[in-house]
Chains A and B, each alone.
Chain A
Amino acid sequence: MDEVKLLGFWASPFVHRVIWALKLKGVKYEYSEEDLTNKSELLLKSNPVHEKVPVLIHGDKAISESSVILEYIEQVWPQNPLFPKDAYERALSRFWINFASDVGMIFRSFYLSKEENREKSRREVIQVLQIVEEQALKDKNFFGGDNIGMLDIIYGSIPHWFEALEESVGVKVIDPNALPRLYAWAQRFKQIPVINHDLPPYQDLLLHMKRVRQRLISQPPNSSA
């Protein structure tokens, strides 16, 4: 069996997507923490195009981009499938995986919003999450149905990470009134042992998010983060 290595960063929700998928499938792997201010030779060599984590290294093959890595994991280790079998249901899952990128951009706008834009930004977050709640989650326990699946992993940055984001901005967005089903799902998701055992410590995450926010807000516009 080829060795599996994951290059990651403790605070990254994208890295955690991969950790959760590997753990749910019982795949043994070695985790290597990257210092993103001083990236390792291995990271730069394995992901020369983006120089980002996560990177999955399986034997001598390096795979980058969390959604690409997740599809790879699903194909190579088919036990405990995270995608539905039916081709149409799978296509729907992929649609919502793509939509998570749109959600991410709106989260980021909210994260970096100035006070004068904050209320508008907050409403945009609620609007986009209402779409996710009404059309993807619906009345199920999890996106995947009775058990978690790929979409739970993809939207798994909402519990915990978005909570820390809200706190770093100082404005609560996801609550049982505005988004009852999503809120309930978030609490359920965090209780799952595989998820629960691997969350970054909340206070550390909050501090990190506050620090990053300060840095990004004080940078001139259009600089990369």
Chain B
Amino acid sequence: MPKGEEAVKVLGVWASPFVMRARIALNMKSVKYEFLQENLGSKSQLLLQSNPVHKKVPVLIHEHKPVCESLIIVEYVDQVFSSGPSILPSDPYDRAIARFWAAYLDDKWYPTLKAMAGAKGEKEIKVVIQQVEEGLALLEDAYNKISKGKPFFAGDRIGYLDIAFGCFLGWTRVTETVTGTALIDEFKTPGLAKWAEKFCEDDAVKPVMPETKKLVEFFHVIRAKFGGSA
């Protein structure tokens, strides 16, 4: 086995956007790994041992050592595996911008998307949709500025911020389907609409992007289980 690639494992679940980030990064580096699916209702010993603080997926296990948190895993993979393109930009400022928007996505935008699932009543849904759309307007603007006419945030090929954002496309589509509201489309967010299409076609992304149909089914299952709030 090529050096450094012994026993690379990813603990995850197929529906998680955060797990997807780790897998896209490994795919970009052509690293073979074992994908161990967790049953989140009953977490494995390996997961509890590997991430005792949060007990969450994804966890990357490399050379028997666990790396936790999706964006940390992406950076780690970029540093450790030299095959394949760079994931983080090399320029410090570009790198800072990518990290800034990844933090924005996780801390500010994704929570608003998740809130749509639990929103009840027309009024509440309207408020949450507005928050999601305001965030998307900022992201559309960021995309236009950062990509500078190229297809991806990172330029000609996908990179850190593409991965950080693109992983949410499945659940964005679920939200669009369930609420009947277009979020990323050619009228509201023309730049992001084109970007989303290209992102999903990338060879590192295609194998791990779940089908929207399956995600919608999964969403309804979870919603039924937790009585309307997911």
Contact = CB atoms under 8 A, between A and B. Distances in A.
Interface of A: 49, 58, 61, 63-65, 67-69, 71-72, 75-76, 87-88, 90-91, 94-95, 98-99, 131, 135
B168 interface: no
Contact of B53 (A64, A69, A90, A99): A99
Contact of A87 (B68, B80, B96): B80
B69 A71 contact: no
A87 B103 CA distance: 21
Contacts of B80: 87
A98 to B, nearest CB: 6
Contact of B93 (A63, A65, A88, A90): A63
A68 to B, nearest CB: 5
Interface in B35-83: 53, 62, 65, 67-69, 72-73, 75-76, 79-80
B26 to A, nearest CB: 15
Main secondary structure of the interface of B (DSSP, over half): helix
Contact of B103 (A68, A76, A91): A68
A98 B72 CA distance: 10
B95 to A, nearest CB: 7
B104 interface: yes
B95 A87 contact: no
Contact of A135 (B53, B65, B104): B53
A69 B96 contact: yes
A136 B79 CA distance: 22
Interface string B122-136: 000000000000000
Interface residues of B, number: 21
A131 B96 contact: no
7 closest A-B pairs by CB? A87-B79, A75-B92, A72-B96, A91-B76, A68-B99, A94-B72, A63-B96
Given A49-B104, A68-B96, A75-B95, A91 B138 contact: no
Nearest to A135: B53
Given A72-B93, A98-B69, A87 B76 contact: yes
Given A61-B93, A72-B95, A75-B92, A94 B100 contact: no
Given A68-B103, A88-B65, A88-B67, A94 B93 contact: no
A63 B100 CA distance: 8
Contacts of A94: 69, 72, 75
A91 B72 contact: yes
14 contacts: A49-B138, A63-B93, A63-B96, A65-B100, A65-B103, A67-B99, A68-B96, A69-B96, A72-B96, A76-B92, A87-B80, A88-B67, A94-B69, A131-B53
Interface string B87-101: 000001101100110
Interface of B: 53, 62, 65, 67-69, 72-73, 75-76, 79-80, 92-93, 95-96, 99-100, 103-104, 138
Nearest to A92: B67
B93 A95 contact: no
